[in-house]
Amino acid sequence: MIRLSALNKYFDQHHVLRDVSLEVEKGQVMAVLGPSGSGKSTLLRCVNFLEKPSSGRIEIGSLSVEVDKADNKAVMALRAATAMVFQQYNLFKNMTALQNVMVGLTTVKKMPTSEAKGKSLRLLEKVGLGDRMDYYPSRLSGGQQQRVSIARALALNPEVILFDEPTSSLDPELVGEVLAAIKQVAKEGNTMIIVTHELHFAREVADTVVFLDKGLIVEQGDARQIFHEPKEERTRRFLDRALRPFVYQI
């Protein structure tokens, strides 16, 4: 479970997140939607203190942190409870796909190399890359690199996986393979928050939806309800523009 309570973030005088409160139950997938500049990526980066929130509370499982009082120990605990899949793949260029997945297990979790290798190989196979384990990132397509990033996130057994526009850097023909991998991860009961502009994908995979605009939660709730019968006019206009060909296909 993850709960954010009255989370705020300022960049100087710019109020980017405004009293954002949301909750994701264990095993649920939440999609965070909204126009560019609405604070979606900042929200994810605040969860694990890649950006320090200005005020509010973050709870993940049994961990509860008042963000303005968070010390280094609390920050490290939040980061240990989360894993982030970024827009860019952030793979180590001098490591193979297998080594990129293993590195967190051996350096952070202190797992024996043989055990880490076995687990990492199983995860690469799960995302369809078992036959690419010895390939360096330069020999992998963008979609394949992103799937290595997903395997790396899964390896650490986080309480919640955060996806920040995971397909935005991909050529259109590579998007489908990454979305399929994320769908598989969701089916296995992983708790996930996904910031995405792929709205038809979000409609298929999400249990709940949050719609952000100008740092405010305009609407949140059951994904099917929001996609088919949004209560707020601002949400309706956003979906009508972006999703009109898909909304009424059941």
**Cβ-based burial of 215 (10 A; exposed 0-12, middle 13-18, buried ≥19):** buried
Residue 174 within any structural domain of the chain: yes
Residue 196 within any structural domain of the chain: yes
Predicted pLDDT at 245:
54
Predicted pLDDT at 248:
43
Predicted pLDDT at 247:
46
Predicted pLDDT at 244:
63
Residue 135 within any structural domain of the chain: no
Residue 109 within any structural domain of the chain: no
CATH of the domain at 20: 3.40.50.300
Contact (Cβ atoms closer than 8 angstroms) between residue 162 and residue 44: yes
Question: Is 195 a residue whose pLDDT tops 80?
Answer: yes
Q: How many domains does the chain have?
A: 1
Q: Residue 179 is part of which domain span?
A: 2-86+161-243
Question: Rounded CA gap, 164 and 127, in Å?
Answer: 18
Residue 156 within any structural domain of the chain: no
| Residue 216, φ and ψ in degrees, nearest 5 | -110, 145
pLDDT band at 49 (very low <50, low <70, confident <90, very high): very high
Question: Is 48 a residue whose pLDDT tops 90?
Answer: yes
Predicted pLDDT at 249:
45
